[in-house]
Amino acid sequence: MTSADDWEERARQALDPVYYDYFAGGAGDESALRANRRAFARRRLLPRVLRGAEPRDLAVDLPGAPGTCPILVSPTAFHKLAHPEGELATARAAAAAGCVLTSGMAATVSIADVAAAARGVDPEAAVWFQLYLQPEPAVTDCLARRAADAGCTALVVTVDSPVFGRHGRDRRHGFHELPDGLACENMRDLPGGSAGGPRDIAMSPLLSWDDLDRLRDNTELPIVVKGILHPGDARLAAEHGAAAVMVSNHGGRQLDAAPATLDVLPAVADALDRRIPALLDGGVRHGADVAIALATGAAAVGVGRPVLWGLAADGEKGVRDVLERLRDDLDHTLALCGGRELADLTADLVTTGGPS
C-alpha cells in the first residue's frame, strides 16, 4: 500500500458493503464529508531552502501526552465490524507507532482492555477516552471513572451531537444495530441498566456548558472538547476549563452544511490565542495534509477513516502501517519545507491554488 486511497480500496474489497458504507458514509448529501478533503486539495506548501534542517524533531506536548507524535487516532466506533480483534489491534498498532489513541465510547472492546492492550506494547502509551455527555449525570460520571481507572490520560468530550446525524447509506441498508455477539462494551452495566447497545448512547439537545463544568469538577483528567467549529465556542471551551479543543465536523457525519475543518481552523486558533492547543481532524490523508494543518494553527491532527481502512485490510499491521507512513511522510515533508521542528511549519508556508 502506498497511499490512503490504496488502503481504502483494499478495505472496501474486504468489508461487507453494509459496514464499508457505515464507515465511509456521512450525513445528508455528504457535502461536509467531501469538503474536508477538498480543503486540503486547495492548499499548497511554499518550501524554504538552505536552512540546515537536520536532525528533525516531530514531538509535541498534548494533554496527558507530553512529547508525543502530532498524529492521533481519532475516535471511531465499532472496530470489530472491520476486524475480529477490533480496538485491541488498533490500540497495539497506535502504541507501536507512538501515536495517542483516542478510544471511542462506542467501542466494541472495553476501555480497560483497550488501554491494557496499548500498555502491553508500550507501558508509557497515551490512551484518551472519548465520551458524549449523557443526559443522566451518573452515567457520564461512571464512564469518566472507568476511563481514569483504566489509566487514560485525558477525556475527549464530543459536543457536536445534540441529536444523531442522519446517514443515508445506513438507512438504505437498514443498518441500525450491531450483529449478534458485538456490543458497545463501555455501555454495559451503567446506571440505568444499559445492555451495551448502540441506542444506549443517549443524545440530548438540553445539554449545556453547565454539564461540561460538572464533568470537569468530577474528574482529575484533562478534558479535550471535540466538535468545535465556531471561534466563540473555542473561547467558551477555554473559559470552561478545557485543556484543548479539537476542530472537527465529526468526519462529515453530523451537520452536512458544516464547513471543512481546515477552513475554520485559523479563526479558532486565533480565538484561543495560544491559551490551549487546537487540534484538528477531518480529511487528513497525507503527511503534507498534517503539515498544512500544523502550519494553519493545529498542534496535532487526528485520523479516523484511514485507521479503519488499515484495520479492515490487514488488522494490527495495517493500522501500524497507515500511522507510520503518515508520520514518515510528515517528516519527509518537514525536511522538504526546510524545517527542523514542528514550530517551523508557519502560516506563511501555506498558499492556495490547488483544485477546488
Angle between helices 111-121 and 87-97 (to 10 degrees): 40
What is the length of the chain? Answer: 356
- d(CA 130, CA 223) in angstroms, rounded, equals 10
Distance CA 48, CA 333 (A): 11
Active site residue 332: no
SS (H, E, C) 298-324: CCEEEECHHHHHHHHHHHHHHHHHHHH
Provide Rg for the chain, Cα atoms: 19
How far is it, in rounded angstroms, from Cα 336 to Cα 317?
28
Cell readout for 356 is 477546488
Please give the C-alpha separations between residue 264 and each of 148, 162, 199, 231, 252, in angstroms, as whole numbers: 32, 21, 32, 8, 14
Catalytic residue among 167, 230, 250, 332: 250
DSSP letters along 193-221, please? Answer: T-BS-GGGS---TT--HHHHHHHHHT--S
In sequence order, what are the residues at sequence separation of 6 or more whose Cβ sits closer than 8 angstroms to the Cβ of residue 40? 262, 283, 284, 285, 286, 288, 289, 292
Q: Give the count of beta carbons closer than 10 Å to the beta carbon of residue 352.
A: 8
Residues in CB range of 181: below 8 A, 6 or more apart: none
Q: Is the peptide bond before 55 cis (omega within 30 degrees of 0)?
A: yes
The Cα-based distances of 196 to 90, 100, 174, 186, 187 in angstroms read: 21, 25, 20, 7, 5
Cell 478495505, residue located? 11
Residue 153 is which amino acid?
A: T
Task: Give the integer Cα–Cα distance in Å for 156 and 245.
Answer: 9
**Catalytic residue annotation:** 250
